[in-house]
């Protein structure tokens, strides 16, 4: 299967391939009835009937699908607030190339482009710099099986009470006109100010592929849980990137570059080549982050987390950082391999770290944790970890500097696990707990051929 392209190259290709904008409508809404009639569209959202009082281009009977520009800018108060704001919408064609600038005001839903009945929402852009969205905001949404690809959401201020999406193909899981489930590919979210109370999702699909999506959090932004790529019922999650450069992340839920949400023992999901890069920010209220997280059958491989200049977690049980994690228990069809966590200078994990982790029966191999000078982990560090009856092989922990305030394991398994060929290499730093090449829980299981090499450091 072809690998996902790097985000910069993917964006460049997307721009070249984008269809030119049509001769859409330009609307500037200042909250006055004379600006624009607020109408009822011919179809609603998420299976519900259409509501009145919406702002959208062209006429009530035939909304404009593409090439529109909608600007909303007014101080809420004695003004007429639109129930929803659409840059473009259609149930009969693809929705593409629309732009929404939401500078001030109040609305319930904000959508750059909205398509149903299997049609796609692509190349739509939303810029949010002020005001309030009391429910969800999305650059492009296709509800009913269509694709949501190459949409862009830029937020510099304002308030979103629920979720923010780059591309949303989550709703109404049914086949589109081309016989496939809607995908979310190449969507971009950048948040440098304002607040998103709930979740930020770069690209999201119910069952389609989710690839090449990027989320960047920076500046003074405040957000909840973050998923660069998100799916509910399977598919491929590949090449999704989450960058945290600043801002505040405050969430009770986990975050990840790629996330499969639904516990399932039938669908197969592949999470490959997804990456979290953290270079700043206030993350003490973010309890957990992973390169790839899956709770179904499948393969989790080549996912990474790189942390520096920030603290993740606040010491509660379960707080931690994992390169690749499969949280489905009771099946032999879990493979967690070649995932990695790197802790750089001033990167602190107030919790545990695992390169790769699985539950019972998981196959966990060739995962790695690297702790460099100036990095710190308060909890246990494991190269690879599995539950009962798991197989833990050829995982690695390398400590070149920094501090670990608990134990270090090259590989660790539960009862009746097989733990072989795992290594710990320490050339510097400080480890306060025990150092173990490989271990199984209890008296059952096998731990053989695991090694420790120490050439420096203090204990």
Under DSSP, the state recorded for 263 is -
Question: Is there a domain that residue 364 lies in?
Answer: yes
- State residue 140's pLDDT score: 98
Q: What pLDDT was estimated at residue 177? A: 41
Residue 339 falls inside a structural domain: yes
Residue ranges with strand state E in 327-459: 334-337, 340-343, 347-349, 352-358, 363-365, 368-371, 376-377, 381-385, 391-393, 396-399, 403-404, 408-413, 418-420, 423-426, 430-431, 435-440, 446-448, 451-454
DSSP 298-326: EEEES-EEEE-SEEE--S-TT-EEEEEEE
Question: Which residues form the domain of 177?
Answer: 26-454
What pLDDT sits at residue 284?
Answer: 92
In a domain, residue 293? The reply is yes
Q: What is the pLDDT of residue 12?
A: 46
Kindly state whether residue 3 falls inside one of the protein's structural domains: no
Q: Is residue 9 part of a domain?
A: no
Antiparallel, parallel or unpaired: β 304-307 and 164-169: unpaired
Asked whether residue 12 is assigned to any structural domain, the reply reads no
User: b/e per residue, 27-43, with b = 16+ CB within 10 A?
Assistant: bebebeeebbebbebee
Quote the pLDDT of residue 69.
97
What's the structural domain count of the chain? 1
pTM of this prediction exceeds 0.85: yes
Alpha-carbon distance 79 to 85, whole Å?
15
Strand 95-96 to 125-128 pairing:
unpaired
Six-digit token pair at 300?
């989790």
- Alpha carbon distance 298, 404 (integer Å): 32
Task: Specify the pLDDT at position 172.
Answer: 53
Domain assignment of residue 15, yes or no: no
The per-residue pLDDT string of the chain (459 residues; one tens digit each, 9 = 90 and over) reads 344 545 555 444 444 444 444 468 999 999 987 778 788 887 776 544 578 889 999 866 678 999 999 999 999 777 899 999 999 999 999 999 999 999 999 999 999 999 998 899 999 999 999 999 999 999 999 988 899 999 999 999 999 999 999 999 987 543 444 345 899 999 999 999 999 999 999 999 988 999 999 999 999 999 999 999 999 887 899 999 999 999 999 988 899 999 998 766 666 789 999 999 999 999 999 999 999 999 888 899 999 999 999 999 988 888 999 999 999 877 667 899 999 999 999 999 999 999 999 999 999 999 999 999 999 999 999 999 999 999 999 999 999 999 999 999 999 999 999 999 999 999 999 999 999 999 998 778 999 999 999 999 999
What the block records as the tokens of 211 is 């690839």
| Residue 6 belongs to some domain of the structure | no
Say what the pLDDT of residue 40 is.
Answer: 85
pLDDT confidence of residue 39: 87
Looking at residue 317, what is its pLDDT? 84
């Amino acid at each position: 299967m072809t690998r996902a392209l790097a985000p910069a190259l993917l964006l460049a290709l997307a721009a070249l391939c984008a269809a030119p904008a049509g001769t859409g409508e330009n609307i500037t809404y200042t909250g006055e009835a004379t600006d624009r009639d607020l109408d009822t569209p011919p179809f609603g959202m998420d299976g519900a009937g259409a509501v009145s009082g919406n702002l959208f281009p062209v006429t009530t009977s035939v909304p404009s699908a593409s090439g529109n520009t909608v600007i909303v800018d007014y101080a809420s108060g004695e003004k007429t607030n639109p129930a929803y704001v659409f840059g473009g919408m259609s149930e009969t064609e693809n929705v593409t190339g629309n732009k929404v600038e939401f500078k001030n005001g109040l609305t319930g839903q904000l959508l750059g482009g909205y398509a149903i009945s299997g049609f796609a929402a692509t190349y739509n852009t939303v810029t949010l710099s002020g005001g309030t969205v009391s429910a969800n905001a999305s650059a492009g949404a296709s509800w009913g099986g269509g694709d949501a690809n190459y949409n862009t959401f830029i937020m510099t201020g304002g308030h979103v009470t629920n979720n923010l999406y780059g591309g949303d193909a989550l709703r109404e899981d049914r086949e589109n006109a081309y016989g496939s489930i809607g995908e979310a590919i190449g969507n971009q979210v950048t948040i440098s100010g304002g607040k998103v109370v709930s979740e930020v999702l770069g690209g999201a699909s119910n069952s389609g592929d989710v690839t090449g999506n990027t989320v960047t959090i920076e500046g003074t932004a405040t957000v909840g849980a973050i998923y660069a790529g998100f799916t509910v019922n399977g598919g491929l999650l590949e090449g999704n990137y989450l960058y945290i450069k600043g801002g505040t992340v405050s969430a009770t839920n986990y975050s990840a570059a790629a996330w499969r949400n639904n516990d399932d023992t039938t669908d197969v999901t592949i999470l490959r080549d997804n990456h979290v890069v953290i270079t700043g920010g206030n993350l003490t209220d973010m309890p957990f982050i992973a390169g790839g997280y899956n709770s179904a059958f499948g393969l989790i491989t080549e996912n990474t987390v790189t942390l520096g200049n920030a603290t993740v977690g606040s010491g509660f049980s379960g707080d931690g950082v994992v390169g690749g994690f499969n949280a489905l228990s009771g099946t032999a069809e879990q493979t967690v391999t070649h995932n990695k966590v790197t802790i750089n200078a001033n990167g602190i994990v107030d919790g545990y770290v695992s390169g790769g982790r699985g539950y019972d029966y998981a196959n966990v191999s060739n995962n790695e944790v690297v702790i460099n000078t100036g990095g710190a982990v308060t909890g246990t560090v494991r190269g690879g970890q599995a539950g009962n009856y798991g197989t833990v092989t050829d995982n690695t922990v390398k400590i070149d500097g920094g501090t670990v305030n608990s134990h270090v394991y090259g590989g660790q398994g539960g009862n009746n696990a097989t733990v072989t060929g795992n290594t710990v290499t320490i050339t510097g730093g400080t480890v306060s707990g025990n150092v173990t090449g490989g271990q199984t829980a209890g008296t059952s299981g096998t731990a053989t051929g695991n090694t420790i090499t120490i050439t420096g450091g203090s204990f």
